[in-house]
Amino acid sequence: MKKLLLLAISAVLMFTACGGGNNTEPNKPEVIPAISVSTTSVVLDATGTSASVTLTSNVAWSASVSENWLNVSPLSGSGTTTITVSASPNTGVARTATVTVKDTDGKLSRSFSVTQKEAGATPVVPTPDTFDGNKRSGLTYQLLVYSFCDSDGDGIGDFNGIKSKLDYLDGLGVTALWLSPSHPTSSYHGYDVNDYFTLNPLYGSAHTSASAEEDFRSLCAAAKEKGIAIYMDYVLNHSGKDNDWFKSVQSDPAGSEYKDYYVISSDPDADVAAGRIDNYGGASGPGMGSWHQLSGGSLGYTGRLHFKLDWTGATKYITVTETTEAAQTSNASASKWLWIGTDGHLEGLYETSANIFEITLNVDTDWGFLVRTSSTTWDGGTKYGGKAGASKITFGQPFALDNSTASNIVFGAASYYFASFDASMPDLNYGKYTEAKDSKAFKAIAESVDKWIGFGISGLRLDAVIWIYQTNNGNANPEFLRQWYERCNSAYHAAGNTGDFFMVGETWLGHDVERSYYKGIPSCFEFEYFGQITNALNNKNANQFAKNVSGYITSHKAVRSDAITSVFLTNHDQNRAAEDLGKSLAKEKQAAAMLLTGGGKPYIYQGEELGYWGKKDGGDEYVRTPLKWTKTGAVASKLLGTKVDNSMLSSSISVEAQAETESSLLNVYKAFAKVRNTYPALANGEMTEHGTYNSGNTSYPTIACWYMTSGSEKMLVVHNTDTSEKTLAFTDDLSKAVALLGTAARRGNTLTIGANSSVVFKL
Ligand code: MG
């Protein structure tokens, strides 16, 4: 009913409007401008799909867009039109824009919103800048000459072997080599130097000193061509006992021209107590080492002697007298023995009354004798002798026996030498530390360095520097080293070299003491560094890493402004890094990435880049394993004897195999070293904690995050040491990644970083 009524009314109105039966021009119907849109909101997905919106209009119109990521087509028209809205893929969070449509007069306005959903994460793909070939990193490779590479097939590494691998070292981004001691030696490792002025003949192509020098000179020159410096390992604390200097002292302790080179005393206890031993403070000092008899002098005896042991009291005594009574044969069922004779043999004593043991013997010994309570072992306090430095016996007088030091009991005047390590390495003597540079030993060894500077070396690694002066005076070693460095650096400049001579000390100390050594030398090994790595990787305290490492560097620079903090995982005296990381390849890779993206001058120890493992407890040789260059070839293992873990030296761990495998540990080292060499900020920049993900952020203990800054260049370094991925919101611009280990993806500046993954961004 209602519809019919409306139609009737309309008909009446139309008729009226047309004028009924009049002949006048009919009025045009008035057009009322109108614009409408089919929706007020559109949602696009992140991948950039488009949508259509219907614009209904009876007038001309134009459209405008609030955000330039959104495209609208067409942007103008008239009449009803289908508008297409589209966007490029969204890589960030959800975003919204407004489209406004107006008539040409601008009186009518309609709008609708377009929202594009947040992105799915985009994988981080590193796009480092091209490396200009200028290696900036200071990255140093520690190699063992005897087990690195053998060029002549004798099973012993040599200088030509190193030279043949310079391309490998260059490809690893190395800027310097620290060579194990290269002088003549009585050991395989070389830390007992027999002549500072010549080189180990075994390292020369003809196994002669001359060929060793020729090959070494050639190595220095070839390395320089590749931007690789050579550092020699110098042992200043002691020489080898087969050094001609020491052999001269052995044969003539009082008259040798080299007697001042060593720490010699005929009465060490008295000399130490009176302060006459400059480099050893005795029991009151930090002390390590022992006094040993020089073989010279009249230690032995030839003739007939009566021996009487008194075993009745807490202190045991022996009384020796010269005699003409008949000599006896050894007691086959004895409980006490003499160890005696130049050849060293047992003589059993007879119990003549309760706990009194006696024998008369024809004696021929060039070193003295000892008392034993076991005929089968020297262990467990079964050896009795004299106290160190006080073991001369006087005929007819009871001599108190000692079974802790148990030095040989001698018959004549003896001289003793001090050795911090073992008897094969007599300590060198530099006199009072304030005047060390004037000592004969200092001058002689410095002259030997001059020779090698002439060959082309540009630095030294100094062995055992904390033992040179064993006193409570903490200034002694740093002040000694200051004189040593100035002497060598002056010689380096005098030889026409630009820049300074490099010197790094084996400061095997806690950081608080170690830092004082920067008073003497420009660089020291930070032995606490690897503890920060294991703390991050094993104990999930990664958020402390940047604070502590940058703290070391700051504290070194406070001692000297040009301090270079030398950082490393492990060296030839420690269990291999892979051992402490549980032989986890993921952790080994991340340790490499951390080493090569933080502050300090990094070192790689031979084999670390291949994932070598090994523990010291079976012998140091097990952490000094030869490099395996090819899948099937031989290694330079001859000087290590049987102490080589051949199960580790599989073909898959070889350089050849790892070079072919993109994901290998070797290639992680190469990739991160290359990036470090590319960017000054990574190579030499200042390391600072990140503003959000830092030591104070206990919500992210497995994140190690820091900046490296040099001038206007700034890098962001992020390591996730966890076994699960983490999502981190940054305000830094993450658009340019330059290095990646593992996996990472980002939505805008939100980073999702995978387990044991590392990423470096250039900001
Ligand atoms: Mg060889």
Summarize pLDDT for 271-304 with one digit per residue, the tens.
Answer: 888 888 988 877 555 578 888 888 655 678 889 9
Measure 660 CA to ligand 1 centroid, in angstroms.
27
What confidence tens digit (pLDDT) does each residue in 88-123 have?
A: 888 777 789 999 999 988 888 999 999 988 777 789
Please give the backbone phi and psi of residue 674, each rounded to the nearest 5 degrees, phi first: -65, -45
Cα of 642 from ligand 1 centre, angstroms: 18
Q: If you measure from the C-alpha of residue 664 to the centroid of ligand 1, how many angstroms do you get, rounded to a whole number?
A: 29
Q: What are phi and psi of 735, to 5 degrees?
A: -75, -20
In the reported structure, the alpha carbon of residue 150 is separated from the centroid of ligand 1 by a whole-number distance in angstroms of 4
- C-alpha 678, offset from chain centre: 20
CA of 186 to the centre of ligand 1 (A): 17
Ligand 1 center from residue 220 Cα (angstroms): 18
How does pLDDT run across 595-644, given as a tens digit for each residue?
999 999 999 999 999 999 999 999 999 999 999 999 999 999 999 999 99
Mean pLDDT value of segment 428-446: 97
pLDDT, one tens digit per residue, over 317-343 is: 999 999 999 999 999 999 999 999 988
Helix/strand/coil for 676: helix
Q: In the predicted model, what is the mean pLDDT of the chain?
A: 92
pLDDT at 367: 82
**Neighbour tally for 180: CB within 10 Å:** 25
Of all residues in the chain, the percent with pLDDT exceeding 90 is 79
Structure-model confidence comparison of residues 177 and 116, the more confident one:
177
Known catalytic residue at 192: no
Q: Among the options 215, 233, 506, 580, which is catalytic? A: 506
Contact (Cβ atoms closer than 8 angstroms) between residue 16 and residue 9: no
Helices (H), 296-423: none
Does residue 668 sit in helix, strand or coil?
A: helix
Separation of 127 CA from ligand 1 center, angstroms?
A: 42
Q: Which residue has the higher pLDDT, 601 or 381?
A: 601
Cα of 202 vs centre of ligand 1, distance in Å, is: 7
Q: Hey, CA dihedral for 389, 395, 401, 404, is it positive or negative?
A: positive
Q: Compute the distance from residue 653 Cα to the ligand 1 centre, in Å.
A: 22
Task: Tell me the percentage of the chain whose pLDDT exceeds 70.
Answer: 94
Residues 630 and 165 sit within 8 Å (Cβ to Cβ): no
Predicted local distance difference test score (pLDDT) of residue 283: 58
At 181, list the tokens. Answer: 């001691």
- Taking CA atoms, 101 is separated from 96, 110, 626, 724, in Å, by 17, 5, 77, 49
- Give the pLDDT score at 532: 98
> Are the C-beta atoms of 215 and 159 separated by less than 8 Å?
yes
User: What pLDDT does residue 28 have?
Assistant: 66
| Residue 463 known to be catalytic | yes
Of the residues 215, 463, 588, 689, which is catalytic? 463
Tokens found for residue 333: 């069922």
pLDDT of residue 296: 55
